[in-house]
Amino acid sequence: MMDGTTSTPAKINFGTTYNHADAGFTSPRKISAYWLHKFHGTANNYFRWEHIGSTGALQVGEGYSMKGTSGSAAILDSQNYTFRGLPNNGTILMETMNATGTGENYLLGNPYPSAIDADEFILDNMRDVVNGRNTSNVFNGTIYFWSHFANKTHYLEEYIGGYATYNLSGGIIAVAIDDRINATEDEGGRIPQQFIPVGQGFFVNTHLDPEIVNISNITIHGGQVTFRNNQRMFITENDTKKSVFHSQEKKEISGIEDSNTSKAEQQRIWLKFKSPKGYHRQILVTADPNATDNFDLGYDAPLIENNVEDMYWYFNNNEFVIQGVEDFNVERELQLGVKIKEQGVVKISIDRLGNIAEDQEIFLKDSLTGTIHNLKNEPYTTEVEEGVFTDRFKLVFKDDTPVVEPEDPVVVDDGPFKVQYLNEDRIILIKNPELIKVNRIYLNNLSGQQVHVYYNIPLTIKEELPVERFSAGVYILKLHTAQGIITKKVILQ
């Protein structure tokens, strides 16, 4: 690797100290060998970073971490490098990945002197086919790009960045966890696209939650990661653009949309979530005929970060930042999970749309408030308490708000029903000794605001209603029964 700042490449000035390149630009450029590392080991094990310095060995196809050539450079400044040597060609097999235990991360990089098609790379490492391709699922079908978009520091806890994510459904930017950068146009970095540029590094991971494995009957076998010539693409960069982090997304390249017909026809919805503490998360759902309602390897991207506040798709009892489904028909409901550290206002909005028809309706359904909000008109803003909620918000494609009809005569706080609040269990116990049919139950506050609706009430002598997420206070239960509407007062503590 050489300094490509000028037309005649020069040897880089490598130094061993951590702050070797912290000052201004020099000629030739400086790089601190202190920060040159590779990684291949179990997830969440930071000590598996292996120092390689400027003279260490890398297997062809392995990626490495490094820092820039000047402490005075802006985050988005570019640095040109020239690589000299024999170009790589043909099939490249990496070290074996282990799929047992907590899973394994491997830092890789595009080894060819040309862009590679990320879709072909994923398929080559997950399809059970012949003709020289792998016959096992090597990793979990998603690739992760580190995006460092704010703060120049040598202290790990002060890094401001995250992992942009890409699979066969598309890509999302990294989560942004600091409002100082959320207000800028570079919030979360950029969305990775289908073509991975020369020299771009990325992670793959073998972990799948055991519950996903049990439900989907999909297993990650591990094995050798494979690069092949069929993944290579002649994709040129627009000369007026700069080459930056996963830079192909910025290129106006003729023919990219036509290079993969099914990709060009995918319908995509990117949602944006802003939390009370200022976290910004982008998630993606894609309509693709190859996807199903359950976990699909290569189309659903598991959440790999543990932020104090976040939003994600929630299905199969797991969290995902990218989800693939068969279509966006009017009956489909996509469950969202929300994790909140401190009570406050959240905002959920449409961030981007891809191949979505003008007449396609997109709503956010809030089961707590009974609201069905049109996201194509404006973002949805509401207050959420501290906690993790996986049954409150859904993305839906029709407004099925029930038509209000004249209610039956109301029987006020009377009748055969008995209501008791169990403080330790945070449940409302409803006793129905006469087994009177109950169609639905509304929980309202004293202002008359509906805070929750319970449907599908079984015909039992005792029924428990969970209330763990509601604030203490006096509430009114409205039981819609075969004998009319019966109201009961209940005090939640």
Residues 265-297 have pLDDT tens digits of 899 999 999 999 888 899 999 999 999 999 999
Give the mean pLDDT of 215-237. 87
Report CA torsion sign: 309, 313, 319, 322.
negative
Residue 229 has pLDDT above 80, yes or no: yes
Residue 369 pLDDT grade (very low, low, confident, very high; cuts 50, 70, 90): confident
The answer to whether residue 248 scores a pLDDT higher than 50 is no
| Residue 307: closest CA among 140, 161, 151 | 161
pTM for the model stands at 0.75
pLDDT in tens, 439-457: 888 888 776 667 788 888 8
Confidence band, pLDDT 50/70/90 cuts, at residue 415? low
Residue 246 confidence (pLDDT) above 60? no
Model pLDDT, residue 378: 93
Identify which has the larger pLDDT, 326 or 158.
326
pLDDT, average across residues 160-170: 88
Confidence band (pLDDT; 50, 70, 90) for 122?
A: very high
138 is written with which tokens?
Answer: 């090597």
CA distances from 199 to 39, 63, 79 (A): 16, 8, 13
Q: Give percent above pLDDT 70 in the chain.
A: 84
List the beta bridge partners of residue 422.
427
* Mean pLDDT over the full length of the chain: 84
Q: How confident is the model at residue 13 (pLDDT cuts 50, 70, 90)?
A: very high
Q: Taking residues 145-156, what's their average pLDDT?
A: 76
At residue 269, the 3 state secondary structure works out as strand
The contacts of residue 230 (CB under 8 Å, 6+ apart) are: 120, 124
* Weakest-pLDDT range from 190-194, 304-308, 356-360, 410-414: 410-414
Q: Is the pLDDT of residue 405 over 80?
A: no
DSSP 8-state code for residue 236? P
Strand, coil or helix: 182: helix
Q: State yes or no: pLDDT of 181 exceeds 50.
A: no
Q: Domains of the chain, with CATH numbers?
A: 86-396 (no CATH), 410-492 (2.60.40.3080)
